[in-house]
Amino acid sequence: MEGLFDGIPISILTDSYKAGHNRMYPSCTKMVAYGEFRKGFKGKHGHDTDDTRLVVYGIRYIVETFISKKWTMEDIETASLFFSTHNAPMFTEYPFPKELFEKFVRENDGYFPVKLEALPEGSVVHVHIPVYQITAEDEYAPLCTFLETLLTQIWYPSTVATLSRRCKDIIEEAFEKTVDGGKLSPLLGSRLHDFGFRGCTCVEQSVLGGVAHLLNFDGTDTLSAAYYAQFKLNGGTPVGQSIPATEHSVMTSWRTEQAAIENMIENFGEGLFACVMDSYDYSAALRDVLPAIREKKVGKGGFMVLRPDSGDPVEAVLEGLRAADKVFGSEVNSKGYKVINGAGVIQGDGINIDTLRDICTAVEEAGYSLQCVAFGMGGGLLQSVNRDTMSFATKLSHIRFTDGTSRDIMKAPKTDLSKFSLPGILAVKREEGVPMVYCTPDAGAGEPLVAPEENLLQVVYDKRPLAVPPWESFSEVRSRLANEWAALPPCVDVLTPQIKGVIRGIREVQARWGGSAGNMTPPRKQSRTQAISSRLST
């Protein structure tokens, strides 16, 4: 099926100003930039501000869909026509690096001439760990940040995966307390169900966000994502599942809700199925309709899920549980909590990480096992986050000028120091199991502080797609996430003493050189390791 991107030249998949930046940089032979999250995820209630773990996910999609694509002379001509009318005022000619683009189409088979390193998909790290690093050299050095706009969009699947994983923590805790088998119960994977397709801004988002959620759970109605994960990322092995369920149109199309439910039982009553219950009057439906369909439902032997869809989320769940308990009865499990016979409740309205937590607490306090409850999260899962949620940004960190000197670069706005960036060519290495960040010497400028095989930043594109693609199956990515999330402490300062020394050195030079004149890192020809030692010793 054809899509949006047909005919759009890849050279315009960036911000306007990027097209002019090559002429705004100083003359240089190397530039390095990287992306990082600067804040941990937190709910609206401010819970968990002390948990700065995050899931990194989405580089494969960006590399395969965009960065690995060959540019053609025709693309550049199309872009050229566009840029000739894009400048203000009066739609005049906007600058863009046509000659550089043509050069790599001629000389590099049309592949964008940068090196890209990234953390493995599904990695769990803390804030400030570089997620990817871009290196551009020689005549292409000024194109280093041209792909920033596309790469920065990794914020989205990473943020959804982190939110979904944080919800899983809450559910795991409730399972440990109230469910036989605790967090190892096979029921856990279906407890947070993705209702978010229609609340997405578009189909592409539904795939990216939906797949990110599927890293943690297998419950989803976002078919686009379930399909993509299964067939494009997992060799056909299924990833996401759902159950037959009514919506309001089904309930209201019958002359009575009872008739609608009886038809559901007839068709799907031997398995799992769900019915939305608030088309007219939720309480009345629980009171009158549920007993009326009891016999038919029990006769079929399946599992019925009640879905409230309005009102107070906590109250709606408790009311549903009590009604189902009254009609179908319950047993007390080994942990002392009631498990309703063949029925449960899914709350799919008003769910975010905070209401999810509130419901877990209330259900436990009411004496029910959380295995009787599932959550449907729609816009709250796929469309409640933004780039500021975990403050993602891409920043330049190193430059080698044409005169052979080089400098580590650091943004540090006085008006918001949380927006500082890391200086240098960066590497990530585990110390006692925790990924930590180093500032490594430029090639040829000294011994690497982090050996390539220890560096968690792995090359995923090197001036062209790799001969052996570095991607793993979706199942392997899921396992990495699960293992690494469990193994990391919630909060760690990941800046090594080594990079702190470099930062301190830059700040001292800035202070000596005084306020406003600009970037104060001194030019240098000495080796990086010498520079670091001299800074650390000041």
* Window 419-448: residues binding a second copy (CB under 8 A): 419, 421
CA atoms of 342 and 319, how far apart (whole Å): 17
By CB under 8 A, residue 227 contacts a second copy: yes
Q: Which is nearer to a second copy, 346 or 499 (CB)?
A: 346
User: Site map for a second copy, 296-315, x if CB under 8 A?
Assistant: ------------xxxx----
Residue with Cβ nearer a second copy (273 or 438): 273
**What one-character-per-residue DSSP string does 335-404 give?**
TS-EEETTEEEEE-SS--HHHHHHHHHHHHHTTB-GGGEEEEESHHHHSS--TTTTTEEEEEEEEEETTS
Is 229 a binder of a second copy (CB under 8 A)?
Answer: no
Our CA angle for 321, 322, 325, nearest 5°, is 85
Q: Report 391-410 residues binding a second copy (CB under 8 A).
A: 395-396, 399, 407, 409-410
Q: SS3 sequence, 289-332? A: HHHHHHHHHHHHCCEEEEECCCCCHHHHHHHHHHHHHHHHCEEE
The nearest distance, CB 527 to a second copy, in angstroms, is 21
In the bound complex, what is the minimum distance in angstroms from residue 306's beta carbon to a second copy?
A: 14
Tell which one of 246, 330, 352, 369 touches a second copy (CB under 8 A): 246
For residues 283 and 265, give the distance between their C-alpha atoms in angstroms, rounded to a whole number: 21
What does DSSP say about strands 115-118 and 132-137: parallel, antiparallel, or unpaired? antiparallel
Task: Return the residues of window 186-205 that contact a second copy according to CB under 8 A.
Answer: 190, 195, 197-205
Please, which residue, 62 or 449, has the CB nearer to a second copy?
62
Q: Is 345 in the site for a second copy (CB under 8 A)?
A: no
Which residues partner with 31 through β-bridges? 136, 399
Q: Is the peptide bond before 89 cis (omega within 30 degrees of 0)?
A: yes
Q: Which residues in the 71-100 window bind a second copy by CB under 8 A?
A: 75, 82, 85-89, 91, 94-95
Instruction: List binders of a second copy among 502-521 (CB under 8 A).
Output: 510, 515-520
- β-bridge pairing 343-347 and 373-377: parallel
Minimum CB distance to a second copy, residue 200 (Å): 7
Q: Which two tokens stand for residue 19?
A: 């097209």
Burial 240-257 (b: 16+ CB within 10 A, else e): bebbebbeeebbeeeeeb
Retrieve residue 178's tokens.
């109230």
Find the binder of a second copy among 259, 362, 482, 536 (CB under 8 A). Answer: 259
209 vs 435, which CB is nearer to a second copy? 209
Contacts for 442 with CB less than 8 Å, ≥ 6 apart: 30, 398, 400, 406, 425, 528
Single out the residue of 99, 107, 231, 431 in contact with a second copy (rule: CB under 8 A): 231
Structure letter (DSSP) for residue 229:
I
Which residues inside 15-34 make contact with a second copy, applying CB under 8 A? 15-17, 19-21, 23-26, 28, 31, 33
The strand pair at 330-332 and 373-377 is best described as unpaired
- Does residue 362 interact with a second copy by CB under 8 A? no
Site for a second copy contains 213 (CB under 8 A): no
- Among the candidate windows 38-46, 109-117, 233-241, 456-464, which touches a second copy by CB under 8 A? 233-241
| Burial degree of 89 (CB within 10 A; 0-12, 13-18, 19+) | exposed
Is residue 282 part of the contact set for a second copy (CB under 8 A)?
A: yes
Q: Which residues contact 1 (CB under 8 A, 6 or more apart)?
A: none
The residue within the footprint of a second copy, chosen from 98, 103, 150, 185 (CB under 8 A), is: 150
Three-state SS for 442?
coil
Q: Of the two residues 148 and 484, which places its CB atom closer to a second copy in the complex?
A: 148
Give the shortest CB-492-to-a second copy separation in angstroms.
Answer: 26
Q: Nearest 10 degrees: CA dihedral of 183, 184, 186, 188?
A: 20
Which range of residues in 122-130, 279-287, 444-452, 526-534 is near a second copy by CB under 8 A? Answer: 279-287
User: Using CA atoms, how far apart are residues 376 and 164, in angstroms rounded to an integer?
Assistant: 12
Amino acid at 323: A
Residues 36-75 that bind a second copy (CB under 8 A): 65-66, 69, 75
Q: Does 217 bind a second copy (CB under 8 A)?
A: no
**Binding characters for a second copy, 453-482, by CB under 8 A (x = yes):** ------------------------------
Size of the site for a second copy (CB under 8 A): 149
Nearest distance from residue 86's CB to a second copy, in Å?
Answer: 6
Supply the minimum distance, in Å, between the C-beta of residue 536 and a second copy.
23
The nearest distance, CB 425 to a second copy, in angstroms, is 15
